[in-house]
Structure 1
Amino acid sequence: MANFYLVDELPTEPGGLLTVTGAEAKHIATVARTRVGERMLVGDGRGRVVEAVTESVAPAAVAVRVESVRVTDAPAPRIRLAQALAKGDRDELAIQAATELGIDGVVPWQAERSVSRWSGPKLEKGRERWGAIVREATKQSMRAWLPGVADAASTKALIAAAAGERMLVLEPSAQHPITDIRPDGRDLLLVVGPEGGIAPAELDAFRAAGAELVRLGAHVLRTSTAGPAALSVLNAALGRW
């Protein structure tokens, strides 16, 4: 089962005919070169995934017959990643890997030391770009749930949006390792700073908001690898793996 696609609506019962159109149909027909009789998985990004067999293939529309339907509950507790904007493509690498590893939502964070800045038209363009990366990573990893991408947030807005969540801030100088974290039932917000680190004033603001500062280990990781590494630890602690 090598191919997974995302559409907005899916049949709820086996036996129905599903027509895939748009960019997904074009990919099925011209990139994957799927033939009649081949199987694929199609998800709606909200927990429902169907296994289907192709009945007709064309770049404009692909018809598939649904053979089985499965519904996966949303993970609980949820883990979101607040990823600081970073130079180059390091922030994009971070959210791509985090999506493959099971993150439940992504927040672009305009940290004080972020070299990359989103403003004006870049705000929506950047969010759309991250949304496309998350979507493709969801398909690659064949996930039933598509993580949401929030609007870009300042430090103040990030703290306000995290109300009710358990905020874990990655900081190399923190006293406690992330391996000490034990689930307490709350959703988690994992905060990862830019290449220059999180500014002292931001760390103070996070502490004042009740955030827990945690370290990954003896080494300092790049912003592109810190989030995925921390998420792996949390996946194990939460019993996801």
Structure 2
Amino acid sequence: MQRYFLTNEQDEQNIIFSKEDIHHIRRVMRMKEGDHVYAVFPDGRAAVVVLSSVTDTSVSAKVEEWLAQSSELPVEVVLACGLVKGDKFDYIIQKGTELGAAGFVPFEAERSIVKWDLKKGAKKIERWQKIAKEAAEQSHRNRIPAVAEPMSVTQIIEHGNMFDVKLFAYEETAKSGEMPAFYEAVSGLASGGRMLAVTGPEGGFSEKEAAQLRGAGFIPCALGPRILRAETAPLYVLSAVSFYLELKR
């Protein structure tokens, strides 16, 4: 069943869909009155709704059944990722959303090959947010992860003050064989906790950046004994958190 996120406060008996969703319901899915879809309200509640009216210009529905179960991770994991080449950041956002990320923060690291273009930045953020929305619908999320504007390492450090656990994936830690830090960080997360996981660009973190992060209380972590690509590391973090907190019993 198709899933749609509602953007405004809604009357449960007269739900109004956005123009984009109206087009998708009518032209792509070719739905009609009486068909059912999932609707996610701005507060994160989800329901099965029945389409009560489908016209050329509007689609309305009413709640038939509220869904008690949520597909969200029991903790909030925000990924701060160094800017990467090509469409790799698109991939991180799409797959990261499917895996349960609460948000994404791009940053321009010293070794980032890609430099942020201020003129094109707004359109890029808009595209990334659209990718997150579509991935959230596909994976039946109860929330759409927010994509922030790029930050500096200094701003990432300040942002970290809002989190219970903050770490960064550091390949030098993996090379030295120090493996327990990531496990301890994840196992120490209580339900409702917040984690900020920072991963570098293709060239990794510079020694200066690693020192800054470590000095600000970010835990340097190895993500296993292998060196992961920039687009793989954030997805490993989410997969491990999901396994430990959702599947491990």
TM > 0.5 between the two?
yes
The match for 2:37 among 36, 40, 47 is 40
List gaps (5 residues or longer) in structure 2. none
The residue identity in structure 2 corresponding to 1:126 is K
Question: Residues 239, 154 of structure 1: CA spacing in aligned structure 2 closer, same or farther, 3 A cutoff?
Answer: same
Per the alignment, residue 192 of structure 1 pairs with 199
Per the alignment, residue 140 of structure 2 pairs with 142
Question: Residues 162, 80 of structure 1: CA spacing in aligned structure 2 closer, same or farther, 3 A cutoff?
Answer: same
Counterpart contact for 2:77–2:101, Cα < 8 Å: yes
1:122 Cα deviation after fit: 2.6
Separation of aligned partners in 1, 2:59 and 2:234 = 37
The residue identity in structure 2 corresponding to 1:60 is T
* Secondary structure, counterpart of 1:36 in structure 2: coil
Per the alignment, residue 154 of structure 2 pairs with 156
Per the alignment, residue 105 of structure 1 pairs with 103
Per the alignment, residue 168 of structure 1 pairs with 167
The residue identity in structure 2 corresponding to 1:89 is D
The residue identity in structure 2 corresponding to 1:179 is Y
TM-score of the two chains, using structure 2 as the length reference: 0.86
Counterpart contact for 1:84–1:194, Cα < 8 Å: yes
Aligned-pair identity (%): 31
* Secondary structure, counterpart of 1:162 in structure 2: helix
Per the alignment, residue 4 of structure 1 pairs with 3
1:45 Cα deviation after fit: 4.5
* Secondary structure, counterpart of 2:17 in structure 1: strand
Separation of aligned partners in 1, 2:92 and 2:226 = 18
The match for 2:183 among 159, 171, 179 is 179
The match for 1:232 among 219, 236, 239 is 239
* Secondary structure, counterpart of 2:172 in structure 1: coil
Matched, 1:219 2:221: no
1:72 Cα deviation after fit: 6.8
Counterpart contact for 1:72–1:144, Cα < 8 Å: no
Question: Residues 118, 184 of structure 1: CA spacing in aligned structure 2 closer, same or farther, 3 A cutoff?
Answer: same
The residue identity in structure 2 corresponding to 1:50 is A
Q: How many residues align?
A: 238
Counterpart contact for 2:17–2:58, Cα < 8 Å: yes
* Secondary structure, counterpart of 2:96 in structure 1: helix
Separation of aligned partners in 1, 2:30 and 2:48 = 18
1:64 Cα deviation after fit: 1.7
Segment drifting more, 45-54 vs 135-144: 45-54
Segment drifting more, 125-134 vs 68-77: 68-77
Matched, 1:25 2:52: no
Counterpart contact for 2:10–2:16, Cα < 8 Å: no
TM-score of the two chains, using structure 1 as the length reference: 0.89
